[in-house]
Amino acid sequence: MTKGVYIAAVEEHSGKSLIVLGLMDAILNYLPRVGYFKPVITVNDQQEKDPHIQLILKRFNMSFSYEDAYGFSGKEVAERATNKSDVAVIDALIEKYKEIEDQYDFTIVEGTDYMGKGAIFEFDANILIPKNLGIPVIMVVSAENKTVEEVAKFTQAAFEGFRKGNVEVLSVLINRTREDQLPEVAAAIRNYLPQQTILSVIPEITKLNSPTFREIHNSLGAKALFGTTRHDNPVDHTIVGAMQLHHFLDHLKDNTLIVTPGDRSDIIIGALQANLSRHYPHLAGILLTGGFEPEPAVSKLIEGLQTVAPISVVPLGTYDTANRVGSIRSEIYADNTRKVELAIRTFEEHVDLKALGERLTNFKHKGMTPHMFQYEIVKRACRQKRHIVLPEGNDDRVLTAASRLIEQDVVELTIFGDSNEILSAAKRLGIHLPPDKVHIFQPSESELYPEFVDTLYELRKEKNVTRETARDLMTDGSYFGTMMVYKGIADGMVSGAINTTQHTIIPALQFVKTKPGISIVSSIFFMCMPDRVCVFGDCAVNPDPTSENLADIAISSAESALFFGIEPKIAMLSYSSGTSGVGDDVEKVRKATEIVKLRRPDLKIAGPIQYDAAVDPAVGAQKMPGSEVAGQASVLIFPDLNTGNNTYKAVQRETGALAIGPMLQGLNKPVNDLSRGCTVVDIFNTVVITAIQSQTMK
C-alpha cells in the first residue's frame, strides 16, 4: 500500500497544477486527511511565496502552514548541490515528508516547476526525490506546440529516465493536447507503455490558459485606474484599438482585452459603452499605453458609471505592450474559483479515476467524510437532473449560486423576477444564465397563472379563500413556485434568502402537505465536521415538539441520513444520560425514544443522552456502556428548537464545520428553506439536496 504519490512534470508549463488540483479533489472524496508537500519551490522576483502551495492550501483549507508545505527553495538546493551537500538535502526532505506522512492518510507530493536555469538538474531531482521517499510517480508531459511524433519521443525518453532510476511510473498524463491530435497521441504513446501504466490524454483548454487581467496588470507593472474589483476577468482575446470606433466595435469578442493609447478617448468611451450594452460582448479590460491617462472629463464620465471594466495604464508603447501581453503565461490561483473548478472538472473528465485509484492506494473507506459527502451529493444530483424553482431572483446570492449550478450542469432552474433586471444583475456580477437552462419570468405574467389561480381556489375554498385572494396569493413567488412543484412542473423549490421560514413553508403545508404517516414537518442540517458528517434535527422549524413529534423527527431524520449515505445511529439528546435525570424535559425525550423503538425496532437509538456522550467514544463508554449509539451517534435529535438552533450554530462557529441545510422533511414533495444570512455556498448546497430529495418523490 502506498501512502503517497509524486506528481512529476518533465518540462516547464506542463499544466501540472491542473493535475495536482484534480488529484487532490479526487482523493479527498475517499480519504478524510490528505497531505500536500512540495520538496523544492521556485519563487521569482515578483512573488513572495510559491503560488502552487498557496493554491492548494487555500482551495482545500489545509490545516498546516505554508512553511510546513515545502522543503527548500530551488536556490538552496542548487547551492547545496554545488557544495556536494545533496545527500543532506535528501535526508532533510525524507524527514519532513515522513512527518507529513505520519499525520495524513495519503500525501500528494508536487515536483519542481522547471522555472530555474537547470532543467537537467530538475529532471534528475524529480527522479531522486520520489525514489528516496519510496513513492510512485505520475508523470506529466505537455503536448503544447509539439507534433504527435515529438510528443511520443519526448514521453518515451522521460519514461525511460524514471525506469532507469528505478522509480515506478503509475500513470502518464499528456496535457495541453490539441483536440485533433487526441486519438493519435494516445495511440502513439500506448504502443510502448507497459500495460499496467495508466495513460490519460488531456486536451488544451483555452479558458485555463487565458490569463486574467490581474496577471497581465501585475506582469506589466501597470497602474490601476478603474474597475479594480474586476481584475480577475479572464482575457481570451487581445485587440489593439488603433482604428476608427465603428471598425473597432466590429472586432470585439467576449473577454477581449483592449490595448490602446491613453489619449484615444473615443476608443475608451466606446469600449465602456459596449461593455454595458446587451448587444456587445463582455470586455476583459482596457490597457492604456504610452503612460497617458484619460482626460479629466473622460475620467469624470467613467467614475459615474455603475459598472466599469478594469482600466490600467502602462508606460510602454502600444506595439510593445501588445507583444508583452501575448507572451504572458497564465497561472491558476485559489481566488479564481471558476478556473479552479474548470481544472478539476477537466481532470475528472479525462482521467480514469477508478483505475488510477486502484493503482495509487489500497485504502479502505473510512466512513462518509465531508468532502466525500459534498462530492457525492453533487454527482448524485447530476445523475438524475431535476428542475428546481428559485423564487428570489432579486438577490445577488441566489443568482450567483444559480450560475455555479448551471456551470456544473447540476440542475435546470426557474427564477422568478423581471428578466431584464435579472440579466442586468447577472452582467453586473459577471455571471452567465443561459436561457436554455434558466427560465426567468414573473409569476403574474406566466401563461400558467390563470390555471394556478383556479387550482389554489379549488384546494383552499373550504378555508375561505376567495378567487380574488387566490389571484393575489399566486403573484407571490412562494405560492407560485410551490404550485409548480405540486403540479409536477418543477421538482422542488428553495427559498428563504429574503423571505421568512413561514413565508416559504406555509404554501407547502397548505397544499403539498405531509407524507402519509408523518404528522409534522421538520428540518435537518448535514453537519460536515472535520472527520465525519452528522445529521442535526430539528434546528429550524418546531419550537417545542411533543414526544410524538420528536419520535417523528427522529424517524424522518434517520431515513434522510440513510438516503444520503449516512448510517443512522440516533441520539435523543437531553441534559442527562440514561436513567440519571428526572423532570418533564427528560421524560419527554425518554418517551420519544420508546415510541421510536416501538415503531421502528430496526433503528439504532439511545436516549435520553447528553451531547458529549453521544459523540465522544470515551465519554459514551463511561456514561452508557454497551450502547451501540453512545460515542458514535450520526443522527442527533434535539429536544427543542432553542437548543437545536443554538447548538448547530455554536458547532458551526467553533469547529469550522460546514452546515448544509436546513432540509425540510416530511413533505410529499421537496420545498426547502434558507437562512436569510445564507451564503452562495449554502444556496448551492441546498439546491443540490433538494434535487436529490426529488429523485425519489413523484
How would residue 361 be classed by pLDDT, with cut points 50, 70 and 90?
low
Highest mean pLDDT among 232-241, 527-536, 589-598: 589-598
CATH number for 433: 3.40.50.10950
Q: Give me the DSSP letters along 626-678.
A: T-SSTT--SEEE-SSHHHHHHHHHHHHHHH--EEEEEEEESBSS-EEE--TT-
Secondary structure class of 12 (helix, strand, coil): coil
Q: Find the domain containing 203 and state its range.
A: 4-208+336-360
* 505 conformational bin, left if phi > 0, alpha if psi -120 to 50, beta if neither: alpha
At 114 the pLDDT is 72
At 261 the pLDDT is 93
Q: Give me the DSSP letters along 547-598.
A: HHHHHHHHHHHHHHHHHTT---EEEEE-SS-TTS--SHHHHHHHHHHHHHHH
Average pLDDT of span 301-324: 92
At 86 the pLDDT is 60
Task: Assess whether pLDDT exceeds 70 at residue 371.
Answer: no
> 481: exposed, middle or buried (C-beta count within 10 Å: 0-12, 13-18, 19+)?
buried
The angle, 0 to 180 degrees and rounded to 10, between the axes of the packed helices 396-407 and 419-429 is 80
Question: Residue 248: CA atoms inside 13 Å, Cβ hemisphere, count?
Answer: 23
Q: How far is CA 128 from CA 14, 39, 135, 155, 684, in A?
A: 20, 11, 11, 18, 44
How would residue 47 be classed by pLDDT, with cut points 50, 70 and 90?
low
Write out the three cell numbers for 51: 503560488
24 and 123 co-located in one domain: yes
The residues pairing with 552 across neighbouring beta strands, listed in sequence order, are none
Secondary structure class of 363 (helix, strand, coil): coil
Give the largest Cα separation in the chain, rounded.
92
Q: Please choose, from the candidates 698, 588, 562, 563, the residue with its C-alpha nearest in 3D space to the C-alpha of residue 643.
A: 588
Q: Identify the domain boundary among 468, 501, 534.
A: 501
In the chain, % of residues over pLDDT 90: 58
The total number of residues written for the chain in this structure: 698
Write out the three cell numbers for 622: 463511561
At 120 the pLDDT is 61
d(CA 318, CA 329): 19
The pTM for the full model equals 0.62
The residues pairing with 387 across neighbouring beta strands, listed in sequence order, are 412
d(CA 116, CA 221): 22
Q: Which amino acid is at 473?
A: L
Q: Which residue has the cell 522543503?
A: 71
Average pLDDT of span 663-683: 90
Write out the three cell numbers for 606: 439511545
197 and 220 co-located in one domain: no
Task: Assess whether pLDDT exceeds 50 at residue 310.
Answer: yes
Q: Which residue has the cell 475517499?
A: 30
63 and 203 co-located in one domain: yes
632 and 649 co-located in one domain: yes
Tell me the pLDDT tens digit for each residue of 616-672.
888 999 999 988 899 989 999 999 999 999 999 999 888 888 888 889 998 999 999
Q: Which helix (H) or strand (E) holds 457?
A: helix 449-460
Cβ contact 177:143 at 8 Å: yes
At 613 the pLDDT is 92
Q: Which amino acid is at 402?
A: A
How would residue 305 be classed by pLDDT, with cut points 50, 70 and 90?
confident
217 and 132 co-located in one domain: no
356 and 235 co-located in one domain: no
Q: Which residue has the cell 486519438?
A: 183
Residue 608 is assigned to a structural domain of this protein: yes
Task: Assess whether pLDDT exceeds 50 at residue 432.
Answer: yes
Residue 532 is assigned to a structural domain of this protein: yes
The residues pairing with 523 across neighbouring beta strands, listed in sequence order, are 664
Average pLDDT of span 478-482: 95
Residue 506 is assigned to a structural domain of this protein: no
545 and 650 co-located in one domain: yes
CATH number for 39: 3.40.50.300
Tell me the pLDDT tens digit for each residue of 165-223.
888 899 999 999 999 999 999 999 998 899 889 999 999 988 888 899 998 999 899 99
Return phi, psi of residue 636, to 5°.
-115, 120
At 366 the pLDDT is 46
d(CA 685, CA 692): 11
Residue bearing the bigger pLDDT, 92 or 354? 354
Task: Assess whether pLDDT exceeds 80 at residue 697.
Answer: no
352 and 390 co-located in one domain: no
Q: Give me the DSSP letters along 230-275.
A: GTT-B--EEEE--S-HHHHHHT--TTEEEEEETT-HHHHHHHHHHH
Residue 190 is assigned to a structural domain of this protein: yes
d(CA 263, CA 269): 11
The residues pairing with 569 across neighbouring beta strands, listed in sequence order, are 604
At 363 the pLDDT is 33
At 117 the pLDDT is 52
d(CA 691, CA 679): 19
Task: Assess whether pLDDT exceeds 80 at residue 43.
Answer: no
Write out the three cell numbers for 259: 490595448
Q: Which long-range contacts (CB under 8 A, 24 or more apart) does 237-246 make?
A: 237/284, 238/322, 238/325, 238/326, 240/318, 240/322, 241/267, 241/271, 242/318, 245/270
At 309 the pLDDT is 92
d(CA 177, CA 676): 46
The residues pairing with 573 across neighbouring beta strands, listed in sequence order, are 609
Q: Please choose, from the candidates 635, 580, 577, 579, the residue with its C-alpha nearest in 3D space to the C-alpha of residue 605.
A: 635
Q: Please choose, from the candidates 163, 171, 141, the residue with its C-alpha nearest in 3D space to the C-alpha of residue 153.
A: 141
d(CA 665, CA 637): 14
Cβ contact 12:114 at 8 Å: yes
Residue 510 is assigned to a structural domain of this protein: no
d(CA 23, CA 106): 11
Write out the three cell numbers for 151: 510528443
Residue 512 is assigned to a structural domain of this protein: no
344 and 311 co-located in one domain: no
Residue 281 DSSP label: P
**671-673, strands of its sheet edge to edge:** 438-441, 412-416, 387-390, 492-495, 671-673
Tell me the pLDDT tens digit for each residue of 558-591.
999 999 888 899 999 998 887 776 778 899 999 9
The residues pairing with 665 across neighbouring beta strands, listed in sequence order, are 522
CATH number for 648: 3.40.50.10750
191 and 243 co-located in one domain: no
> 514: exposed, middle or buried (C-beta count within 10 Å: 0-12, 13-18, 19+)?
middle
Write out the three cell numbers for 173: 498524463
Question: Residue 193: CA atoms inside 13 Å, Cβ hemisphere, count?
Answer: 26
406 and 555 co-located in one domain: no
Write out the three cell numbers for 633: 451517534
Secondary structure class of 697 (helix, strand, coil): coil
Tell me the pLDDT tens digit for each residue of 85-125.
566 777 788 888 888 888 898 999 999 877 655 556 688 88
Write out the three cell numbers for 388: 428546481
Q: How far is CA 641 from CA 175, 240, 648, in A?
A: 53, 62, 10
At 560 the pLDDT is 92
Residue 647 is assigned to a structural domain of this protein: yes
At 46 the pLDDT is 58
Q: Identify the domain boundary among 501, 534, 564.
A: 501
Q: How far apart are the first and last CA of the chain?
A: 46
At 45 the pLDDT is 54
Task: Assess whether pLDDT exceeds 80 at residue 372.
Answer: no
Average pLDDT of span 679-688: 93
Mean pLDDT of the chain: 89
At 196 the pLDDT is 87
474 and 588 co-located in one domain: no
Q: Give me the DSSP letters along 554-565.
A: HHHHHHHHHHTT
Tell me the pLDDT tens digit for each residue of 128-152.
888 888 889 999 999 998 999 999 9
Return phi, psi of residue 616, to 5°.
-105, 115
Secondary structure class of 618 (helix, strand, coil): helix
Measured torsion, CA atoms of residues 354, 360, 363, 369, in degrees rounded to the nearest 10:
-60
Cβ contact 553:522 at 8 Å: yes
Cβ contact 572:554 at 8 Å: yes
In the chain, % of residues over pLDDT 70: 95
Q: Please choose, from the candidates 351, 405, 373, the residue with its C-alpha nearest in 3D space to the C-alpha of residue 525.
A: 373
How would residue 362 be classed by pLDDT, with cut points 50, 70 and 90?
very low
CATH number for 267: 3.40.1390.20
d(CA 83, CA 224): 45
Q: Please choose, from the candidates 230, 131, 258, the residue with its C-alpha nearest in 3D space to the C-alpha of residue 430.
A: 230
Residue 287 is assigned to a structural domain of this protein: yes
Residue 25 DSSP label: H
Residue bearing the bigger pLDDT, 84 or 492? 492
Number of domains in the chain: 4
